[in-house]
Structure formats: structure tokens, C-alpha cells
Amino acid sequence: MRYIIETGCDSATLCAFDPAALPQDADERLLDDAQGHMETWQAEDRFCVGPTGGDGSYVFHVYVNAPLPEPEPGTTRTLEAGFERFRCPSGTLWFCGAEYAARDPVAGSKATPRGGLGRYPAQGGSVSLPPGEHALSVYRVQRPEEIDDSTIDLQVAASMLLWLAGGLAIAVAVFVLVVTVPGKLFQWAIGSALFNEGWHVYPITLGLFVAGVAAIAAGRWFDSRHRRSARAVAAVARRREQADYVVSVTLGARG
């Protein structure tokens, strides 16, 4: 059976583990030299950790008691880690960014981003297995970089331009207010005749600010519309089918 797990990381490192296989004080240990403890646990066949080469999202295809398919044309697979008896005492095998490693990945801990995977579900997922020890192999998939011009959407371009224009308009309006309002207050305090001059700038500034807010709102609308479009849905489906990592799990390891 194949499972598709979408993960993400902000530490350029991904991991796989059964929380029940970690020491009781794992959360406290991860506060101090997390990488060192992860590597120690990996040597004990209870944790798998490895660098990705960069932050971002990564897709795992996990095959349980099933042969791996042939690599896609133009891609290659490299064995990243192999375990003859990977510990999975609870039967819940998590794949996620290494920064989310915890005894309870969903709730998180002091060593994880606040709220854990419960707050950031796109950063990891799990596979249910029979409790026990299983053979586990993790392969990294390399594919040539491709530029697909068809993914460039007018709605995306409009959204980006509106966000940029709106942000610039708001920044200019705020700058004018920050620079001029203190001066006007000072003129009023000293009774200067200059206090009555230059007020025509403020309606223009307010209009610029409102236009900026409206532009950003429109940008969000275009972005939301694009995400719901058939093209975007199809792109997500295609992305899920392009594995960054392929994992083979053979249940009930012997040894």
C-alpha cells in the first residue's frame, strides 16, 4: 500500500520516528543539542534524520509491504538511510520537519514551533503500522529542474502587483503622516501661522492609504480565487504525485 505524506521544514532537515520510541525525557533533551540527540537515536534505530539541502515542502511516498515502482523517467534515487529493525512500538510513524520532533508532535513542546503539528499540519503527517520493529529504507529522489511556463497565471501576477502597489501606497502614506503630523503639532503649540497651511496634503494621504488597503484586499481576493481554480487544484495533485522521498517499509523485520 502506498501512502502520500506532505511535509515541510524551516531547518533544512526532515525526520521520521515513532514518538513512543523516544526516551521519556526526549523533549527536554531536544532543547539542548537537538541534532546530537537525533543522531544518537538514529544509531539506536529509533529515529531517522537527514538534511534536505534547503527549507520548503517535501512529499514522501511510503510503500508498506509493497514493491517500489520503477523511478520516473529522468529521475534517480539515492539511498539516504536504511534500518533492518526500525523501532515502532506504537505503530504511528511520523514524517515531518526535524524542528517538530517531540514525544507528542501534534501538541509540540518547548523545543518545537509553538503549537506543534496541530498548528502547522502541512509540515508533517503519519502512517499507521502494526506495532513492532520494521525494515525501513529512505530514498531521495533527484529530478532535473524544470521550468513550466504554463504555471504562470494572470491571477497570480495580478495578486502580486496589487500586493506590491498596495504596500507601497500604505508605506508612502504612513511616511507622510509620521513626518508631517509632529510638525503640525509643534506649529500649533507655538502658534505659528504655518499651522494653517498644507492641510490639502492630508486628504490625498488618506486617499492613498485607503487605496493601498483596497489594493491589498483585491490582491488577497485574486490569490484566493487562484487557489480555488481548477489549474491550482490540478497543480497540487501533480505535486503530490512527484515524490521527493520514497520510503520502503517491510513489516515484522527479522534479525
Q: What is the pLDDT along the chain (255 residues), one digit of tens a residue?
A: 899 999 999 999 999 999 999 999 999 999 989 999 999 999 999 999 999 989 999 999 999 999 999 988 889 999 999 999 999 999 999 999 999 999 999 999 999 999 999 999 999 999 999 999 999 999 999 987 644 444 446 667 788 888 899 999 999 999 999 999 998 899 889 988 888 888 888 999 999 999 999 999 988 887 777 666 656 556 666 777 889 999 999 998 654
Domains in the chain: boundaries: 2-148+243-250, 154-228
Residue 115 grid cell: 503549537
User: 144 Cβ partners below 8 Å, 6+ apart?
Assistant: 74
> If we measure between CA atoms, which residue out of 62, 59, 21 comes closest to residue 38?
21
Q: What single letter denotes the amino acid at residue 71?
A: P
Q: List the grid coordinates of 6.
A: 506532505
Q: What is the pTM of this model?
A: 0.68
What's the confidence (pLDDT) of residue 195? 87
φ and ψ of 72, to 5 deg = -60, 150
d(CA 96, CA 16): 7
Residue 143, pLDDT score: 81
Beta bridge partners of 7: 58
Fold classified for 2-148+243-250: Substrate Binding Domain Of DNAk; Chain A, domain 1 (2.60.34)
Burial class (CB in 10 A: 0-12, 13-18, 19+), 89: middle
